[in-house]
Amino acid sequence: MELKQRWIDYIHNLQDRICAALEQEDGAAKFIEDKWERSEGGGGKTRVIANGTIFEKGGVNTSIVFGEVSDTMRKQLNIDGHSWFACGLSLVLHPGNPFVPTTHANWRYFEVYDKDGNLLDCWFGGGADLTPYYLFEEDALHFHQTFKNAMQPFGAEKYPKYKAWCDTYFTNTHRNNEMRGIGGVFYDHLKPTPEFDSEELFAFQQANGNSFIEAYLPIITKRKNTTFTPEHKHWQEIRRGRYVEFNLIHDRGTIFGLKTNGRTESILMSLPPTVRFEYDYQPKPDSPEAVLLDACLHPRDWA
């Protein structure tokens, strides 16, 4: 079986496993599946959970899309060739409790072909990051350490490199380089080489995808029953505003989806259900909110 089909099978299995684990943790809400087709080629399975005991809104989506390389893709996405194929899983989870962090993850595979259908280029990309509203250092350590452990067998240099890449990528550069959260790991355009061939890349992607449940669910369990006030919720919605800004201004996945006539509802599923934009809002000095903001302005080596 070719790698492309094996990857498709893997992301569908991963989607099933993650959704089952999240439903069990929530205990009330269930995912609703919406299958869709793309007129230019392909489609996907959008699964959305909402108004649960834990998750105010969330989605775990898979997509398999393909088509001809457009002038827009060549110019704005630096993709060349005649046609392309992309397949991946993307998730975003927005808990209702401000003491439970938001999380995002994505693992994808891309191929580019010439006019005769011959493979010209291929690469993997992905990662996972954590966006808390109140900082618990043990949670940050657990999340980062889990992905560090997953990457370690593939080379000790990978976690530090992809952790730094994540810190740089998930940053609102228009807000004095303020990160939207406390990072995680991120990588893109990982292409086969003699030292790290396609089978090793595939195994690397699987190791990261398989680590998500272990990285995130223990944090939910630890924080989900924490009592919160309207003031805590207010701060959560202020920080969610930063999340919206990043996704709409900087995120390549959002831009790629919209530029390739992707399904808008699935692409913008990542946006939180409630959000605040208040002019020049600043947390009180030395408050828990200020501690979180400082961590977003000054990346740390959590693991």
Which amino acids are annotated catalytic? 104
Which stretch of DSSP H or E encloses residue 189? strand 184-190
Closest CA to 275 of 296, 244, 249: 244
Q: Which residues lie closer than 8 Å to 195 by C-beta, 6 or more apart?
A: none
d(CA 80, CA 85): 12
CB-based burial, 234-254: b 16+ in 10 Å, e otherwise = ebbbbbbebbbbbbeebbebb
How open is the CA angle 172-173-179, to the nearest 5 degrees?
Answer: 40
Closest CA to 16 of 42, 58, 45: 45
Q: Which residues lie closer than 8 Å to 63 by C-beta, 6 or more apart?
A: 42, 43, 44, 45, 86, 87, 88, 90, 262, 263, 266
